[in-house]
A and B are shown apart, each in its own frame.
Chain A
C-alpha cells in the first residue's frame, strides 16, 4: 500500500489487519502517536487523515491508503516547535505526557478550522481527548493562548 505521512510517501507491504496506529509506530517508527485505550475513546492515538482527526487505533491502515496523514511528528518545522507545542510548554499543558500527542493533533485540527475558538468551543472539541493526570485547565489555557497569539500575529 501507499501512504503519505507528514509529507513523505511510503510504499509498504503490510497485512490488511494492520491498524493505522500500528503502522505508524511499528512500520514507520513514528512512536509519537500513542495507543492507550485501544477502543477509540481516549484520544491518545489522534492523527489527521485528509485534515480530519480520527482515532488511528480503530482505523485500518488500508482505510487511510492514498490519504495525507499528519502525526504529532509533523507539527514542528526543522528548527521550530509548532506554536501549540510551545504554548503547551509555556502553560504547563502536560504532566505525564502520554495524552499530549493526541491533544496537540486534535488542537491543531480545531485551530485549522476555527482560529478564534471560545473556551466552550475548545472544551467541546477536546472533550474526546482524555488526560488521566486531569490537567484540563492548563490544556485549555495552552490552546486558547496559542490561538490568541496566532491572531495577534505573534
Chain B
C-alpha cells in the first residue's frame, strides 16, 4: 500500500476543513472495510485519509417524529442488534444482519456502505423499500437525498466534493405494512447476492394500497422497480396481478454477466424473486 497522511479530526468542522484543504487528494474513511481493501489493491491511492471515527456527532440511533435517525458511523452490527431498529423497522435489522460476516459487520458503517455505492450490497434494497433518505452535510449547507436517488453508477454516489454523509433517516413503516427481503445466495452465506429484492407494501380492502420494490445486485446501481409498483397500486391482489407485476421487473434491471450467473439468468431470477417477495408481502399463494 502506498503511504499517505492519516488525519483523525474530532469534529465535523475539522473534517470539513481537512476536506477543503486537501480536495481531491483526500478520501474519507469510516470502518475502512471498503477503503482499505481498495487501497491495498491500488485502486485507490489518496495522499490524505481523513478518518471520521472520532466524530461523535455522526454516531447514535434515535426515533424522532416517526422516523429513525441512524448516524453515519453506526456499524452494520449495531443496526442488526439494535432493539430500537428491531421494534420499529425490523426489515432493516434483518437486512443489515445479512451483510458479509460478523467480522465485517463489526467494522462497516451505515454511511460508509452507502458512500461506497457498491450495487451488490444489501442495505440499499431495504432502505429504498422503506423510503429512506440520507442527510448530506457540507460546510455551508445541508440537504437530504432519497436513497433511490443517491446512486449514479458503479461505486459512485451522488455526494458532492466537500459533503459528508451524516445520517440515514428511515420513516417508520406503517404498522399494517409487511416487508420482506429475499436474497438469492446459491454459493456461500457471506457471498454477495446473485440477485436480491426488498418489498414493503400495504393492502386495503383487497387492493394494493401502497408498495415499494427495490433490487440490488441487479445493475450498476440499486434499482427501485417503479414499473412493478405502478402495476400494483390500486389493483386487486390476485395471483395474476402479482405475476404480471413481477414480469415488469425484467425491463428495470441491468445485471452483469459474472461468476454468479449470466445477465439473462439474473434477469430471469429478478422476476422469480420479485414474484416470491410480492407473494409473501401480499400473502398470496402463487405455488
Would you give the 0/1 interface string for A95-122, flagging 1 where the beta carbon is closer than 8 Å to chain B?
A: 0000000000010000000000000000
Interface centre among B51, B102, B188 (most CB of A within 10 A): B102
B40 contacts A38, CB within 8 Å? yes
Given A16-B49, A58-B32, A60-B6, answer yes or no on A40-B103 (Cβ-Cβ < 8 Å): yes
Residues of B within 8 A of A63 (CB): 29, 32, 51, 53
Residues of B within 8 A of A19 (CB): 1, 36, 40
Would you give the 0/1 interface string for B1-18, flagging 1 where the beta carbon is closer than 8 Å to chain A?
A: 111111010000000000
B53 contacts A41, CB within 8 Å? no
Q: How large is the interface on B (under 10, 10 to 19, 20 to 34, 35 or more residues)?
A: 20 to 34
Residues of B within 8 A of A58 (CB): 32-33, 36-37, 40
Q: Tell me whether B104 is interfacial, beta carbon within 8 Å.
A: yes
* Residue in B2, B5, B32, B106 whose CB lies within 8 Å of A53: B106
A125 contacts B51, CB within 8 Å? no
Nearest B residue to A128 via CB reads: B101
Residues of B within 8 A of A55 (CB): 33, 103-104, 107
Q: Tell me whether A134 is interfacial, beta carbon within 8 Å.
A: no
Residues of A within 8 A of B62 (CB): none
Nearest A residue to B100 via CB reads: A128
Residues of B within 8 A of A60 (CB): 6, 29, 32, 36, 49
Residues of B within 8 A of A15 (CB): 3
Q: Tell me whether A46 is interfacial, beta carbon within 8 Å.
A: yes
A16 contacts B189, CB within 8 Å? no
Given A17-B3, A38-B40, answer yes or no on A59-B32 (Cβ-Cβ < 8 Å): yes
Residues of A within 8 A of B51 (CB): 62-63
Q: Tell me whether A39 is interfacial, beta carbon within 8 Å.
A: yes
Min Cβ gap B146→A in Å is: 30
Residues of A within 8 A of B39 (CB): 17
Q: Tell me whether A43 is interfacial, beta carbon within 8 Å.
A: yes
Min Cβ gap B13→A in Å is: 21
B4 contacts A54, CB within 8 Å? no
Tell me the B27-44 residues at the A interface (CB within 8 Å): 29, 32-33, 36-37, 39-40
Q: Tell me whether A127 is interfacial, beta carbon within 8 Å.
A: yes
Tell me the A25-83 residues at the B interface (CB within 8 Å): 38-41, 43, 46, 52-55, 58-60, 62-63
- Report the bound CA distance from A55 to B1 in whole Å: 17
The 5 closest A-B pairs by CB, nearest first: A128-B101, A16-B6, A17-B1, A52-B106, A58-B36
Contact surface of B with A, Cβ cutoff 8 Å? 1-6, 8, 29, 32-33, 36-37, 39-40, 49, 51, 53, 77, 100-104, 106-107, 188-190
